[in-house]
Amino acid sequence: MSENIPTYEAAVIGSGISGMYVTYRLRELGVDFRVFEAGSDVGGTWYWCRYPGARFDSESWSYGYFFDKELLQEWDWKEHFSPQPDTLEHLYLVADKHDLRRDITFNANVAAAEFDDEANQWTVTFEDGSRVRATLLISCLGVLSAPTLPDIPGRDDFQGQAFHTARWPHEPVLFEGKRVGVIGTGATAIQAIPEIAKTAEHLTVFQRHPNWAAPLHNSKTTPEEQKDIKARYEEIYARCWETAGCFIHTPDPRSALDVTPEEREAFWEKLYSEPGFGIWIGNYRDILTDERANALATEYMTRKIRERIDDPEIAEKLIPKNHGFGLRRLPLESGYFEAYNRSNVRLVDLLEAPIEGITAKGVRTTVEEHELDILVYATGFDGVTGGYDNIDIRGPGGRRLRDDWKDDLPKTFLGVINDGFPNLLMVLGPHTSRGNIPRHIEKIVDFNIGIIRHMRENGYSRIEVRPEEAEKWLAQVKDVNEGRLAGKIASWQTGVNANVPGRQTIRVLGYYGGAVRYREQAEQVAAEGYKELLFR
Ligand code: NA7
């Protein structure tokens, strides 16, 4: 007897911000589909990353979905930079309002997906061995869905509690009276450390390389501000679409080199005292492209760290030496540097004393053993391609996506469909534009939905990219990456992860030609009938 496998027009992986919006749009289009989510509810990043201090560092009111105008008026962002619990509450409200959960299967971990070249159909296999089939496979994996633990011996030996920040428990973790250790000093740790320090008996921060960080200046939204935000949503949306990353901030047209030192200082002091990403992406136009301009900004930020840290030796350890200011995704902080002025916080410099291993009692460096009750791994993600690499995705003839992306750059069209992998559509795949994520997601999902509508209207069951168009897109991706100083710096954004074998080489993984240029090209492709794609 043949196996009775549920079969759909589309199977969707993930119900984060992308997957939720895909659910809404597929249903609207009348597609027979099912969403499969590893977690027990919707929310993606905001479902998984429940660590203390987790919050937006783009303005809340520029971040939420804009597709539901009614909801924009119904929902109050309580803070200008929303904390994770409020954001998740917002996403649950979206799910409730649109009854999204009825199309989603939760606790479903996709292990593999294989394309049947004759039937034009994907077979998706879950970790529990169950399977579904679908003509289209739509990946909504996000860019940070594959958390990585440090490659340190003895991790299983630790007798206390241990958590990765992206797999944080749903119950509160209490730090009172506890000796806590945090490994990592990226954006996540920079949010978590000041919060943990408030209640832990003692906090030890294990730092390999420091990162730049600037003050968030978060505040509660007043009733007057709520009213004003709601009245200005059209304007806020339009503003987002005027900027390179869809944030509200845009670079100052002047060069840092063309103004006097006094003018520079005054401008930087102003940006440093303002909320949000202004100091990073509202700065002089050349601080991220010109080495000399970047060196000036780096010198300013170095001074700010020294000003905020009481002990000059600790300040020196917290100043990044391996990259200039802003050349990695800038973390915004609320009292991060001041946390090191507390008597219950100790910074351990792993460049001086590397970790030898995790023991039953804590962390042992080459110098001493640090006894801990709770160990927090703020050690990041296998960025952009990691979520895909974790699934055994096989196209026609058994070709594995993982192998295609092993040493070579992904060859996609608009980051939406990969060469040689028919009927696999991606939202936030490699080589889509980056920045304020929901703004990009809405456009990319709409583009994907347009493709699906075109297939349905014409009775097509197969779509793939013309290989020469994927080559052209890759050439453009490389071209617009030229001149970006950040393109030469190792980080999750350039695909580097010290804990993942084979991921030590810098790659271009985003489209950095700007959101507007990306959107215009996508809209033109749709308007001209998708001639870059092959339909059958
Ligand atoms: P990041 O920014 O990739 O930071 C990871 C941190 O973990 C970083 O400080 C690493 O130090 C450290 N790390 C990783 N492995 C080790 C080992 N083995 N030993 C010691 N330290 C280690 O991830 P985040 O989660 O903070 O932020 C990711 C994004 O989430 C962020 O950009 C926002 O967009 C949201 P290293 O620099 O490698 O020396």
For residue 126, the CA-to-ligand 1 centroid distance in Å is 29
User: Which pLDDT does position 331 carry in this prediction?
Assistant: 98
For residue 380, the CA-to-ligand 1 centroid distance in Å is 4
Mean pLDDT of 178-206: 98
Mean pLDDT of 378-403: 98
Q: Closest Cα partner for 487 from 469, 508, 515?
A: 508
Output the DSSP codes for 452-514: HHHHHHHT---EEE-HHHHHHHHHHHHHHHTT-GGGGS-SGGGT--TTSTT--S----SB-S-
Q: Using alpha carbons only, what angle is made at residue 253 by residues 248 and 256, rounded to the nearest 5 degrees? A: 110
SS3 call for 160: coil
DSSP state of 157: G
**Ligand 1: lining residues by beta carbon, under 6 Å:** 144, 150-152, 183-189, 206, 208-209, 329, 350, 355, 378-381, 492, 498-499
Average pLDDT, the chain: 97
Structure tokens at 375: 């160990």
Pocket test for ligand 1, best of 164, 208, 376, 506 (most atoms within 8 A of CB): 208
- Please list, residue by residue across 361-393, b when 16 or more beta carbons sit within 10 angstroms of its beta carbon and e when fewer do: bbbbbeeeebbbbbbbbbbbbbbbbbbbbbbeb
SS3 call for 69: helix
User: Which pLDDT does position 433 carry in this prediction?
Assistant: 94
Residue with CA closest to ligand 1 atom 29: 187
User: Which pLDDT does position 2 carry in this prediction?
Assistant: 56
How large a percentage of the chain has pLDDT more than 90?
Answer: 99
Q: Is the per-residue pLDDT at 334 higher than 90?
A: yes
For residue 506, the CA-to-ligand 1 centroid distance in Å is 15
Q: Is the per-residue pLDDT at 1 higher than 80?
A: no
Within its chain, how far is the Cα of 180 from the centroid? 26
Identify the helix (H) or strand (E) that includes residue 11. Answer: strand 7-13
Rg over alpha carbons for the chain, rounded to the nearest Å, is 23
Could you read off the pLDDT of 295-326 as tens digits, one per residue?
999 999 999 999 999 999 999 999 999 999 99
Q: How far is the CA of 180 from the CAs of 183, 195, 347, 371, in angstroms? A: 10, 12, 12, 9
The residue type at 130? S
Q: Is the per-residue pLDDT at 3 higher than 80?
A: no
- Please list, residue by residue across 114-142, b when 16 or more beta carbons sit within 10 angstroms of its beta carbon and e when fewer do: bbeeeebbbbbbbeeeebbbbbbbbbbbb
DSSP state of 209: S
236-245-143-68 Cα dihedral, nearest 10 degrees: 20
State the Cα–Cα distance between residues 9 and 280, nearest whole angstrom. Answer: 43
Pocket test for ligand 1, best of 51, 188, 509 (most atoms within 8 A of CB): 188
Q: How far is the CA of 499 from the CAs of 156, 165, 205, 264, in angstroms? A: 16, 16, 19, 39
Q: How far is the CA of 233 from the CAs of 64, 86, 326, in angstroms? A: 11, 19, 29
Mean pLDDT of 187-214: 98
Mean pLDDT of 56-76: 96
Cβ partners under 8 Å of residue 46, min gap 6: 16, 84, 87, 88, 91
User: Which pLDDT does position 212 carry in this prediction?
Assistant: 98
For residue 378, the CA-to-ligand 1 centroid distance in Å is 6
Could you read off the pLDDT of 513-526 as tens digits, one per residue?
999 999 999 999 99
State the Cα–Cα distance between residues 266 and 251, nearest whole angstrom. Answer: 16
Could you read off the pLDDT of 211-265 as tens digits, one per residue?
999 999 999 999 999 999 999 999 999 999 999 999 999 999 999 999 999 999 9
User: Which pLDDT does position 472 carry in this prediction?
Assistant: 98
Which of ligand 1's atoms lies nearest the C-alpha of 211?
A: 9
State the Cα–Cα distance between residues 496 and 31, nearest whole angstrom. Answer: 38
For residue 9, the CA-to-ligand 1 centroid distance in Å is 39
For residue 232, the CA-to-ligand 1 centroid distance in Å is 36
Q: Closest Cα partner for 438 from 73, 79, 185, 87?
A: 87
Q: Closest Cα partner for 216 from 165, 168, 172, 271?
A: 271
Q: Is the per-residue pLDDT at 441 higher than 90?
A: yes
Q: Closest Cα partner for 438 from 231, 246, 218?
A: 246
Note the helical H segments in 351-436.
386-389, 401-407
- Our separate counts of H helices and E strands in the chain read 18, 22
